[in-house]
């Protein structure tokens, strides 16, 4: 076991013991990274921050179950990805519910837009707002695995190796899903611009 791994194990033991300084260090090391991943999936600053908070609480609650089969960072990113997907699923389910209610004739004030057309991402330039909303909405139509891999690679700028570790897929599988995701997005965007002209 090398020194780095040994240090990580010591750090994990401190986290399991519930030591406050260990959590403080964990937050120093990961708050920006976790928030960065969250805002890549969820283009709303406040929502991304709430999900990032949930991630750290989940880490706190389940660190004792961490078996050390992967790096701590990989485990944290897995939790982050799952929490983001959970949040998006809930948002989309809410939209579907409202849609069904209107179909059934119930009077509910309906926001017909997708969650991803209400982009509130401080990192997106004003002139790119419209196009960003469009691509985030297109990403929302991808399959879950395509969404994860595309978002991690293209928005969160993770390397393929990191994505392999986070998703547990092989490199060739990641590359193939990425290819299909790009193709699907291209198709959707082309259709949109075709209809626009």
Partner 1 sequence: MKKKEYLDRQVDTTFKVLEAIEKVPVNHFFKHKVLQKIQAEQHLKQPIITWFTPQFQLVTLVVILVLNASVIFYSFSNVKEISVTNIMAFAQEYSLQSRDSFILN
CB of 194 to partner 1, least distance (A): 7
Count the neighbouring beta carbons within 10 Å of the beta carbon of residue 74.
Answer: 16
Q: Residue 171 in contact with residue 177, Cβ under 8 Å?
A: no
Q: Which is nearer to partner 1, 98 or 180 (CB)?
A: 180
Residue ranges in 95-134 that form contacts with partner 1 under rule CB under 8 A: 121-125, 128, 131-132, 134
What residues does 44 pair with on adjacent strands? 120
Can you give the three-state secondary structure of 12-23, one letter per residue? Answer: HHHHHCCCHHHH
Q: Which of 84, 135, 177, 178 binds partner 1 (CB under 8 A)?
A: 135
CA distance 80 to 58: 9
* Binding flag, residue 189, partner 1 (CB under 8 A): yes
Which spans of this chain sit near partner 1 (rule: CB under 8 A)? 18, 20, 23-24, 27-28, 31-32, 35-36, 39, 45, 49, 52-53, 56-57, 60-61, 121-125, 128, 131-132, 134-135, 154-155, 185-186, 189-190, 193-194, 197
């Amino acid at each position: 076991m090398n020194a780095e791994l040994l240090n990580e194990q010591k750090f994990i033991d401190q986290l399991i013991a519930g030591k406050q300084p260990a959590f403080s260090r964990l937050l120093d090391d990961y708050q920006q990274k976790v928030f960065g991943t969250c805002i890549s999936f969820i283009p709303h600053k406040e929502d991304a921050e709430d999900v990032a908070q949930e991630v750290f609480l989940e880490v706190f609650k389940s660190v004792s179950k961490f078996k050390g089969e992967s790096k701590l960072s990989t485990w944290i990113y897995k939790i982050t990805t799952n929490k983001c997907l959970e949040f998006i699923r809930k948002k989309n389910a809410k939209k579907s519910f409202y849609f069904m209610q209107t179909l059934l004739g119930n009077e509910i004030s309906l926001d017909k837009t997708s969650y991803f057309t209400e982009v509130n991402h401080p990192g997106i330039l004003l002139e790119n707002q419209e196009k960003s909303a469009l691509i985030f909405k297109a990403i929302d139509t991808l399959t879950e695995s395509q969404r994860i891999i595309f978002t991690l690679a293209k928005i969160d700028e993770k390397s393929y190796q990191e994505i392999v570790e986070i998703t547990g897929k092989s490199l060739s599988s990641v590359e193939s899903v990425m290819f299909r995701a790009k193709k699907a997005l291209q198709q959707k965007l082309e259709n949109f611009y075709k209809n626009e002209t």
